[in-house]
C-alpha cells in the first residue's frame, strides 16, 4: 500500500469515527435531558431520531456474554485493519476505512458505556416495515461492505472480459499463423 493510500485509509477511519462519536454525543445530550421528546422526525414518519441503547450484538441479538461481543469486534477490527492496510485500491481503502471507523465507534461505546447508542429509526408504516434502530457506525459498516462487494463484482467482470479478450487475441493469432505470447 502506498503512503498516500495508507494516509487516506487512516484519515477515512478517523473521519468516520469522529462523525459517529459526535452524533452519538449530540443525541445522548438531546434525549437524556429532562423533558426531552421521545423522537424527532427527520423525514416525516419514515425516518426519525430516537434514542435507544443496544447492550447486545448486531441487530440487538444477544449471543453469549458481553465479553464475546468485545472479542468478536476486536477480531473483526483486526481483519479490517489487515485488509485495509494491504489494499492497493482507493475505493477499497475508503470502504475499509469507513468500516474501521464504524467498528471502532461501536467498540468505544461498549467500553465506555457498556452499550451502543442507536438513534436512526426507519419505518414505513403502510408497508408494516420497521428496520432496527441503528447509528452512523452501523451505516458506515454496511456501506463499506456494500462497496467491497460492488468492487469485487466489477473486478470479476473486468477480469473475465480481459481474459476473453486475451483468448480471442490468441485465437486470432493462431488462425493467422502468428506466434502469440501469453503472459498468463
pLDDT in tens, 103-124: 999 999 999 998 999 999 998 8
Task: Check if the beta carbon of residue 101 is closer than 8 Å to that of residue 140.
Answer: yes
Interval 33-40 mean pLDDT? 84
Q: Which of 128, 140, 118, 115 is nearest to 62 (CA)?
A: 115
Q: Grid coordinates in use for 80?
A: 479490517
Burial environment of residue 166 by CB neighbours within 10 A (0 to 12, 13 to 18, 19 or more): middle
Band the pLDDT of 149: cuts 50, 70, 90.
very high
The pTM (predicted TM-score) of the whole model is 0.82
Q: Which residues are catalytic?
A: 118, 138
Band the pLDDT of 59: cuts 50, 70, 90.
confident
Report the alpha-carbon distance of residue 10 to residue 68 in Å, rounded.
27
Q: Quick one: how far is CA 129 from the chain centroid?
A: 23
Q: Give percent above pLDDT 70 in the chain.
A: 91
CB atoms within 10 A of CB 134: 19
Amino acid 144: pLDDT: 97
Task: Check if the beta carbon of residue 107 is closer than 8 Å to that of residue 69.
Answer: no
In the chain, where are the structural domains located?
Answer: 3-172
Amino acid 102: pLDDT: 97
Amino acid 66: pLDDT: 78
Cα within 13 Å of Cα(174), Cβ side: 7
Q: Which of 172, 155, 68, 81 is nearest to 110 (CA)?
A: 68
CB atoms within 10 A of CB 70: 13
Q: Grid coordinates in use for 78?
A: 483486526
Report the alpha-carbon distance of residue 130 to residue 126 in Å, rounded.
10
Q: Which strands form 116-124's sheet, in the order they lie side by side?
A: 39-43, 47-54, 116-124, 129-130
E strand intervals along the chain: 39-43, 47-54, 116-124, 129-130
Amino acid at each position: 500500500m502506498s503512503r498516500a493510500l495508507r494516509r487516506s485509509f487512516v484519515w477515512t477511519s478517523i473521519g468516520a469515527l469522529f462523525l459517529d462519536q459526535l452524533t452519538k454525543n449530540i443525541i445522548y445530550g438531546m434525549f437524556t435531558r429532562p423533558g426531552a421528546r421521545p423522537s424527532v422526525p427527520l423525514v416525516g414518519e419514515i425516518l426519525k431520531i430516537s434514542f435507544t441503547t443496544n447492550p447486545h450484538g448486531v441487530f440487538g441479538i444477544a449471543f453469549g456474554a458481553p465479553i464475546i461481543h468485545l472479542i468478536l469486534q476486536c477480531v473483526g477490527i483486526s481483519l479490517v485493519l489487515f485488509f485495509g492496510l494491504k489494499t492497493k485500491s482507493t475505493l477499497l481503502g475508503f470502504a475499509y476505512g469507513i468500516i474501521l471507523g464504524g467498528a471502532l465507534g461501536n467498540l468505544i461505546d461498549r467500553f465506555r458505556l457498556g452499550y451502543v447508542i442507536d438513534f436512526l429509526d426507519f419505518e414505513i408504516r403502510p408497508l408494516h416495515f420497521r428496520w432496527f434502530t441503528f447509528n452512523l457506525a452501523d451505516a458506515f459498516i454496511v456501506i463499506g461492505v456494500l462497496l467491497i462487494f460492488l468492487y469485487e463484482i466489477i473486478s470479476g467482470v473486468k477480469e473475465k472480459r480481459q481474459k476473453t479478450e486475451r483468448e480471442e487475441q490468441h485465437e486470432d493469432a493462431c488462425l493467422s499463423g502468428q506466434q502469440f505470447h501469453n503472459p498468463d
